Amino acid sequence: MARRTLPLLEPAAPLFLEEPVVPEVSELVGQLAAAPIPIALGERLYSRWDFRRVLRSGVAVIQPDVSHAGGIAEIRKIATMAGAFDVALAASLQVGLTNPDLLIQEQSLGIHYNAEFAEW
């Protein structure tokens, strides 16, 4: 479905398409990486070894989650590895501010697990 959806999104020129495939088949992202819309993924990958697999596929933005990927030190290692592939980083603020490849800092306000902050 991601291959079919990408051409439909092109006129909107999104910054990136987030998580177009589930982590269990993240190696398939290479089939989508040639599209004009950059691909972002990684919130559900758990180690630098998981990221190493997808970095070679042509992904444009990685999004390691500090609580999933082994903490700040591990994410720094992942970010350094991503830099070798010219891949941008969207991660927690603590890691992002120490990385020259930081693309964006996202927040998830008003989502079920932090609904108490929805009024900010």
The pLDDT-based confidence of 109 (bands split at 50, 70, 90) is: low
Residue 26 within any structural domain of the chain: no
Residue 118, pLDDT > 60, answer: no
Residue 9 within any structural domain of the chain: no
Residue 26, pLDDT > 80, answer: no
Instruction: Give the integer Cα–Cα distance in Å for 87 and 99.
Output: 12
The pLDDT-based confidence of 112 (bands split at 50, 70, 90) is: low
pTM of the predicted structure, to 2 decimals = 0.78
- Domain count for the chain: 1
Residue 30 within any structural domain of the chain: no
Residue 71 within any structural domain of the chain: yes
Residue 47 within any structural domain of the chain: yes
Which comes out higher in pLDDT, residue 35 or 12? 12
Find the domain containing 97 and state its range.
Answer: 39-104
Measured on CA atoms in the order 29, 32, 35, 41, is the torsion positive or negative? negative
Q: 3-class secondary structure for 75-98?
A: HHHHHHHHHCCCCEECCCHHHHCC
pLDDT tens figures, 68-99: 888 888 988 998 899 888 888 776 777 777 88
Residue 79 within any structural domain of the chain: yes
Residue 118 within any structural domain of the chain: no
The rounded mean pLDDT for the chain is 83
Average pLDDT over residues 34-49: 88
Residue 1 within any structural domain of the chain: no
